[in-house]
Structure formats: C-alpha cells, structure tokens
Structure 1
Amino acid sequence: MSFSGDTAAATSGDGDNNPAACLKPVPGSYGIPFFSPIKDRLAFFSQPPLAYFQSLSDRLSSTVLRVNMPPGPFISGDSRVVALLDSKSFPALFDLTKVHKHLVLEGTYAPSAALTGGYRPCAYLDPSDPKHSKLKTLILDHLLAPRKLAVIPSFIVAYSSLLDAVDNKLAAGGGGAVFNDLNDEAAFEFVGDAFFGVPPSSTSLRRSGHRRAVKWLGLQLHPILTLGLPKLIEEIFLHTFPLPPFLVRSDYKKLYDYFLAAGAAVLEEAEKLGLPREEACHNVLFAAVFNAFGGIKVFFPSLVRRVAEGGAALHAMLAVEVREVVAAHGGKVTAAGLEKMKLVKSVVWEALRLDPPVPYQYARAKKDFIVESHDGRYLIKEGEMVFGFQPMATRDEWVFERGGEFVPERFVGEDNRRQLLRHVLWSNGPETEAPALGNKQCAGKDMVVTVGRLLVVVIFLRYDSFTADVRSKGSDSKVTITSVMKAAGGGDGLK
C-alpha cells in the first residue's frame, strides 16, 4: 500500500493537546527480571533483526511495543525499551523537546569511557550539555568544512586503488575479491587523507590503521554484534560480560598518536573554542574512526550489494549517466557533476533507506508524551527508554510503495524527492534536514551521501557491469565481487 500524503507524513506526538483522544496500552511485556532479558537476547540473535522485529510486530498486531533489547544483565542495567517500528512513530526519537540523548548511542548500555581516553565524545552527549555545541562546532566547522575540496580527489585515489586490487584478484583467480576487506583499508586511508591531508599509510601506522580501528570498534559494539562464531561462544564471550579496554589499549594509543599529529591544525582550533587539546583529539578520533570510517565500513558493502543485484540493465543506465556527466565536466569528477547524476543520487538514497548504517536509534523520555503510529496513540512515560528499528520504519508501505524492494529510480524526479526524502532517516534525522548544534543529526551526513555517489561513479567509470556474491557473516554481509566487465579501453575514464 502506497500512501505519501499528510496522514503518513504526520510526525509522532500529533494530538498531544487532545486529551479526549483514546490512548492504547503499549502491547508487549518485559517478562521476568534477569531471565526474560536473556531469553529475548537469545531470540534476537537467533535470526536477522528485520525478521525478529517483524515477527514481534505481527504477533502483537502493533508497530509500537515493549521488548527487552540486548545485551541485558551484567552489561546493561536495564534492557526494557518501547520500540517504534513505523514511519509515523519513529520521528519521536528526534524530538528533543520530548527525549534526551545522553549516553544512549549504543542503547541500553554505554561502553567504558576508558575506550575513549576517559572522555565521552560528542556522540554520547545531549545537545543540552554545554560541551555539545563546542564539540559539534569543532567537527562541522573545523574538521569537515575546511577539507570539503579534498574529499573527491582523496576518494578517487583510495578507491581507484581498491578497484586495481579487485582487478588483480580476479585476474589471479581463486573465487573473487572480498569487497569488505579491501574497503576497510581503502576507507581508513581515505578518511585520513581527506580529513587531514596525511594518508595513514605514510605514517608509523603504515597499513595497520584499519585493523586497529576495527578492533577498537569491536570492543565498543561487541554486546550487540555477532561474528558468525558458534552461538555458545558468542553468548559467553561477546554478549554476557563487557570486554576489558586493555585489550585494545596499544591499538588505541597508535591511533591517538596519528590523530594528534595529523590533526594538529584542527586541535589548535579546538583550543580557541576552549576545548582541552587532549579531549579534542579523542573527539576527532571518534568522529573520524567511529563515525566516518565505521559508517563507510558498514554502508559501502550494502551499496555494492544493492547495485550488483540491480543487474545489467541498471548498470547500463548508471554507466551512461556517469560517463556523460564526467565527459561534460572535462573528464573530471566534480561536485557540480555529482549533483547532475540523478539516477546515481537515487540509488544511494535507496540503499541508505533499505540498509541504514546505524539501524538502531535510542532516546530516553524527558517527560510524559504521546506517540502515534498509523493505528493508535500511546503514552510514553518519563524515564522510559525509547528504541527505533530504522529498517522497518523506512520500509513502511504506508509511505514507500514496494517498501521492502530496492527500486533504483525511487528518488528520481522532484515530486518523488519532495514527498519521500523526509522519510529517509539514516542520519539520525530526516534527509531533508541538516546537522545543527541543537540536534543530533550526523555531522557528516552530506559527506556520506557524497562518498556513496563517488563509489558508484568510480565503479562505472571503470566497469560496464559486475557481479557479486553475498553471504551473511555475523552482523555483516560478506560481499565478494566475482566478475567484472571492463569499459572500452579498460581505464577509469578520468583524464
């Protein structure tokens, strides 16, 4: 069912001033303390998250419900959440008049501050925190803005090298090129060069930066991840107890030393804002590694998968669009050219809609308020944890026709963009809004969309088509490029 009008677009909380309207009790139960959170955790990890939440919603006949979220006892003090699983209720998570965002980045638990130098980075702070504005100003105005012209050339260098490696692996045989592995290295190199003009491989990190970064990320996220190991091992070693920070102490120190040196100019600006240099460095590291590198690590394999599954007809249209626009801009990839690639833009937004890099959002109610779904109104009490599973909200067929399908041209056309983009929420806010000091929208929102488009561009400047094999591996999908059809001339299409 497709519905794109005002009813579907209404945000949660409509009718707060209408006390006569009927409120429904939030369905679901938290069960028996200690035991039920463990039972729910086992159920959660026994199937894909989308299937898990869809089954809960079907069983309770509601898209607003109560459930225990991992990790549960020993790691989180309280597993209980009110889950919002549709496009109408989900925006309550962004309404900072009703919820706060203090220490809710990973949800019902917060990793040890020892993993971030004893500080809580900006991502963990509510905008009401006095430090939030200074730290977000640092990221927006002094890390991202001064380097925006470096993004395209840095990306082309890093990801042209990645495609060189793909070509070499395919030529050598052996079953294909695992994109995830190549992407990790390219993404870390790109982030360091684009943000600081200092490729990590040119420093003492050499080619180890991405591996150190992945280990550090894993220690923060392990309670909500699966690695494809036997279930009993994952339950005991990943989901039951917090792993000690000393396991990555030396890796983090190596990363910190790189950012302290490479980011010297940014850190000088931080001191002008009244931020201690050490605290600023930990924040810059977090923004670059957790947010930027971590986001690309998760998003790019899903983008490649979606494009590969689009098949030869989609590839032909993308190749034509990319090459015509690049040729019209003197054989160069430019920001202005990217804006003219309507199908490329749509493909990236569609991938972000289906596979948001951060599928879970959390907030805590700062007061009693009413949330609305398509079929009911519910009272959220002050202090309750509110949770949103974004892939269900952004596949909601009240808004998106064929919401569970990849429709490459979905956002082509002014009317489609205007009606639908506000329901694309991957950046912790609507795609039609911008990061600001007073909200929690991703500071690198525009850069993520840009690099997604750039990935499609570098692929179709080089290849007419490609195929990929996708296999589930824990919380991620392993994407292996199995064949490519090179463009005439076999080059990358750039002068």
Structure 2
Amino acid sequence: MPLNVFVNNWMLAQPSVAPLSPPPPQSSATLKKSTIPGGYGLPVIGPLSDRLNYFWFQGPKKFFKSRIEKYESTVFRTNVPPSFPFFAGVNPNVVAVLDVKSFSHLFDMEIVEKANVLVGDFMPSVKFTGGVRVCAYLDTSEDKHSKIKDFSLDILKRSSTIWVSSMVTSLDKMWDTIESNISTSKDNKASYFIPLQQFLFTFLSRCLLRADTSASPEIEKSGHIMMDKWLALQLLPTISINILQPLEEIFLHSFTYPFWLIKSDYQKLENFVKTQAKDIVSRAQTEFQLTEEEAIHNLIFILGFNAFGGFSIFLPSLLTNLGDQKSKHEELRNEVRQILTQNENLLSFEAVKQMELVNSFVYETLRLNPPVPSQFARARKDFELASHDAVFEVKKGELLCGYQPLVMRDSKIFENPEDFVYNRFTKENGGEELLKYLYWSNGPQSGPHGPSASNKQCAARDTVPLTAALLLAYLFQRYDDITISSGSITALQRAKL
C-alpha cells in the first residue's frame, strides 16, 4: 500500500508477445480434492517467524513464491503480518490464494464477506475515520454499505462533466512547475513526486468534493502532506518500506499508532470537507440517508485513501514504466497525436478510449503494479475453493489472502508473465479476453457486472484507467520527448507547434 510502492518500482521493459487465449476454466468436478497444505507453526514462534520472513529476510513476493514452490500449490496456509504478540487480538492465520482462479473467490459475495478485512485481520482504529466505520470496512450485507456505495458511484458520475477539464488545468500547473524545477536545478533534473501529489490533491478535491483548495491556504499548501501522514499511521504495521533492519521491525511493525499524532491535521481536513464540500454532504443526507458525520468521514476516506492514496501509488509506477519503455514512445506518441487530430486536438474520455496502445500500457501497469497488492476476504460459509489444479475445503470464518502482484503473473493466463508487454491488452494480442482476468480493482476489469452496491469492486474501476490514459495522452501531446529515470524527470522537449 502507499509507502511501499513509493520506493519500489521494479519493472523491466521487454518485447511484445504473440497472442494468447487463456484456457477456459477447468470444471471443479474434474479436479482432484486436496487438503490445503502448509500450516501456522507453533504459537508465537510460527507467526513471528513468518512475519520476519515477510518483512525482512524474504520480502512479500519471495515469501509467497517460495511457499508455492515448497507446497507445489498456489493455495496454502500461512501467517501474514501483523502478528502476535505485538498485536493483541489479531489472528495472522490465512489461506493464501495465489493463482487467478483461486483468487477470483475473493470477489464472490455469495461465499465471502468483507467486514473489517480491508488490510487483513488487522483494522486501524476507527478514530482515524472520525469514529465511523467507512464503506471500505463494511460488508455488502450491511445496510449502510449500499447507501455509501451508491453515494460513491453518484459522486463519480456527477464528476465526469468536469473531470477532464479540471485534470488538464491542474496538469498544466504541475508540468510548468517541473519544467521550472529542471531549469533551475544544478543537475538538470527534477523529482516529480511532490508536484504529482500536489496535483492529485487539488484535482481530486475539485472533482470529488467540488471543493476549491485555494479557499484554505494551509490545505492548499499542506493537504497532501496531511493525507500522507494519515495514511502512513494507519498502514505502517502492515507494509514493508525497506529501511534499515531490524529498526523497521522494532519501530514500525511492532505497534499500532495513536490517532493523536494526526488528530490536529485530520480535524483540519474534516473542516475543509464540511465547509467546502457542503453541497455534496447535503446531498448525501437528503438523497442517500447518511448522517452528516457519515458523509464527511466517508468523503475524507474516498478522497484520501481510495483516490489520493491509490493514484499516489499507481501514477509513479506508470511514469516509471514510461521511462523504462523509451523505445515505445514514438509509437505511443503517434497514436495519441493521430487520434487527437481526429478529435480537434481536444483531450477527452471519448478520445482516449480510442487509443488502444495507450490503454494497453495502462492495463499492463495495473497488472504488474496493482495499487493495492493484498486482498482479503473471510469465508461467509463452508465452500469448495478451486485453483487451476485442485479443489480445497474452506471453512466458515477462515480468512483468505491474495497477493495480487503474484496472482497477476499467473503463467496459465498471461504469457511471459514477468515481462512488461506494453501491447499485451490490444485486440491483436487477445487483450479483450485478458481483461476478464485483470483484478486490480477488487474485481475483474471487464465482465457482465461492474461496480455496484452488491459488491466491493472499486467504484472507479473505469475512471482510474481512463485517468491514467489521459495523463499519457497529455504528455505525448505536450512533449516531443520525455526522459524519466529513478523518480525524476531528466529531460523534456516541448512539442513544436
């Protein structure tokens, strides 16, 4: 989640692949029934050992991959952080589901439930959300879930009328700043991360809240920093940020963090939403039967956790991949400019939807660098869980865990799964079929059912990829050449008019 991806972008540029048609799912009736392998070890020792391997000796990807090899199964029992004895009441025992077929069970709301399992069995204090259990922690069976999810979908629908124009205006300011920073720097390069976060906070506040950050100078200057601290204090016990060990284990993973560390900033964000988004808050009350408190704190969560936090992870990954894929820039730029020429050189959702290569580039980034790497769900009842190779019995109450960066490298679905293939999701390469297996959004990217009150799929399943495609299209419209390396812009060449 947020901090671990800020410092980790580990993609390699690779050539394209031949078209691949994923195999049809094998009927569970033809698969052998097996006992779930693995285990949880001795009390205290087993969870602690797994925690150290997860955070320190192996890292999350190797942790799960080594156990797939050990058990010769993509479904097994293990512990995941945080773990006893430092987190009283938290049970680290999970059933890992690490291929596309087993992973898909996490989104079947008939057999799993999602109450309080956003980041596993650990749940940050509700003090971080004003004492309100926000939508992300609610199960679909809870009445409030439907009301808040419908509210979220309504916000996105209404924001579509200003999304592109607000984004372009904010991007102009961001890239003007980056150009200025490059020209005044001693080494002719500039980090894009802080300007990107400032852009995101301003743009998303405008679109989601209809709030003008300039109305509060402190929020305009430091709102993104407040959000970063708020996110970090909730999530640090569960994520690896790869600082000096064992200090990370001792000081970052051994405790929950008190709300009072962020209380003052959170109250400022709360006041910002209450005063600047009062029309949205009022509509939540009159049309969706939410209280003022429920509306305000869910809006902060939507803005800060879902939108700002998610994009703060995803867009740096996108820009890193763009830097790595320098040889593909000409092809991407030509597609952007050709389609924009046909659309009076105006950026719009309609225009970027026609940019097949650009959208494929975005989807491939989501495949390999999903904004939320770990997904959880608890068995609503006893059921049979199928992987590609076997069927397993899962008992009611067991916690399932899927590590998405590995799941999206399922070799039975994706050819050359470790490679970044920029045109993997084009029609020529069978991309439309592959989108059924792209699960970055807590559900598939395509299929008969999209985000709704009856599921937990991200309300912005379609908006997020389109926003990323708009960013790429904007860059290739504005620049003839762009060079990105190690989180910095090292060269920009403005387009010749």
Deviation string, structure 1 residues 125-152 (Cα, Å, up to 9, x no partner): 01100110011111111x2111111111
**One-letter amino acid matched to 1:319:** R
Does 2:216 match 1:208?
no
User: Which secondary structure state, in structure 1, belongs to the residue aligned with residue 91 of structure 2?
Assistant: coil
Q: Which residue of 1 aligns with 2:127?
A: 114
Shift in Å, 1:156: 0.9
- 2:330 counterpart of 1:316: yes
CA RMSD of aligned residues (A): 1.8
> Does residue 95 of structure 2 align to residue 82 of structure 1?
yes
- TM-score, length basis structure 1: 0.91
* Structure 2 residue aligned with 1:241: 255
Alignment of 1:135-174 (within 5 A): 135-141=148-154, 143-174=155-186
Task: Give the residue type in structure 2 aligned to 1:444.
Answer: A
Cα contact 1:4–1:398 (8 A) shared by 2: no
Q: 2:205 aligns with which of 182, 192, 195?
A: 192
Q: Is the 8 A contact 2:22 2:412 kept in 1?
A: no
Cα distance, 1:3 vs. partner? 6.2
8 A contact 1:160–1:458 mirrored in 2: no
- 1:435 is aligned, of 451, 475, 481, to 451
Name the amino acid aligned to 2:465: V
Equivalent position amino acid for 2:62 in 1: A
- Alignment of 1:307 onto 2:322: yes
Match of 1:295 in 2: 310
Shift of 1:23: 1.6
Contact 1:2 1:398 in 2 (8 A): no
| 1:307-386 mapped onto 2 (5 Å cutoff) | 307-312=322-327, 314-386=328-400
Where do 1:275-294 residues align within 5 Å? 275-294=290-309
User: Which residues of structure 1 form unaligned runs of 5+?
Assistant: 471-478, 490-495
1:450 — aligned with what? 466
Structure 2 match to 1:232: 246
Q: Residue 492 of structure 2 aligns to which amino acid in structure 1?
A: V
SS of the residue aligned with 1:167?
A: helix
Which residue pairs with 2:479 in the alignment? 463
1:413 is displaced (CA, Å) by 1.2
Percent identity (aligned)? 37
CA distance in 2, matches of 1:266, 1:81: 39
User: Of 123, 130, 150, which aligns to 2:136?
Assistant: 123
Question: Residues 232 and 174 from structure 1, CA distance in 2 versus in 1: closer, same or farther, beyond 3 angstroms?
Answer: farther
Deviations 1:344-384 (A, max 9, x none): 11111111111110110000011111112122211111111
Corresponding position of 1:23 = 33
Contact 2:19/2:429 (<8 A) preserved: no
CA distance in 1, matches of 2:281, 2:215: 21
* Structure 1 position 233, deviation (Å): 2.5
Q: Is the 8 A contact 1:69 1:108 kept in 2?
A: no
Query: Offset of 1:21 from its aligned partner?
Result: 5.9
Choose the corresponding residue for 1:267, options 244, 258, 281: 281
Aligned to 2:60: 49
Per-residue CA shift, 1:145-165, capped at 9, x if unaligned?
111111111111222222222
Of 21, 45, 49, 1:35 maps to 45
Structure 2 length-normalised TM? 0.91
Query: Structure 1 CA distance, aligned partners of 2:351 and 2:39?
Result: 52
- Hey, what does 1:253 align to over in structure 2? 267
Runs of 4 or more consecutive aligned structure 1 residues displaced over 4 Å after TM superposition: none
SS at match of 2:306: helix
**Which has the higher mean CA deviation after the structures are superposed, 178-187 or 421-430?**
178-187
Asked if 2 retains the 8 angstrom alpha-carbon contact of 1:70 and 1:108, the reply is no
Task: Return the offset for 1:292.
Answer: 0.5
What amino acid maps onto 1:197 in structure 2?
Answer: R
Q: Deviations over 1:246-266 (max 9, x none)?
A: 100011111111111222111
1-structure distance, mates of 2:457, 2:240: 27
* Alignment partners' CA distance in 2, 1:288 and 1:239: 26
Q: Does 1:103 align with 2:116?
A: yes
The answer to whether the 8 A contact 2:483-2:491 is kept is: yes
What's the CA shift string for 1:397-430, capped at 9, x where partnerless? 1111111111111111177233100000000000
Which string of whole-angstrom CA distances, capped at 9 and with x for unpartnered residues, describes residues 18-40 of structure 1?
A: 5x963211111211112221211
Instruction: Give the Cα separation in 1 of the matches to 2:169 and 2:493.
Output: 21
1:216–1:252 contact (8 Å) kept in structure 2: yes
Please identify, of 68-77 and 116-125, the stretch whose mean Cα deviation from structure 2 is larger.
68-77
Give CA deviations for 1:73-93 in whole Å, capped at 9, x if unaligned.
232510010001111111010
- Paired residues in the alignment total 472
Q: Distance in 2 between matches of 1:50 and 1:484?
A: 35
Unaligned runs of 5+ in 2: 1-17
Q: 2:76 aligns with which of 45, 60, 65?
A: 65
Q: Which residue of 2 aligns with 1:486?
A: 494
Distance 1:228 1:162 in 2: 29
Q: Shift in Å at residue 114 of structure 1?
A: 0.5
**Corresponding letter in the other structure for 1:305:** T
Q: Could you tell me which amino acid in structure 1 is paired with residue 39 of structure 2?
A: S
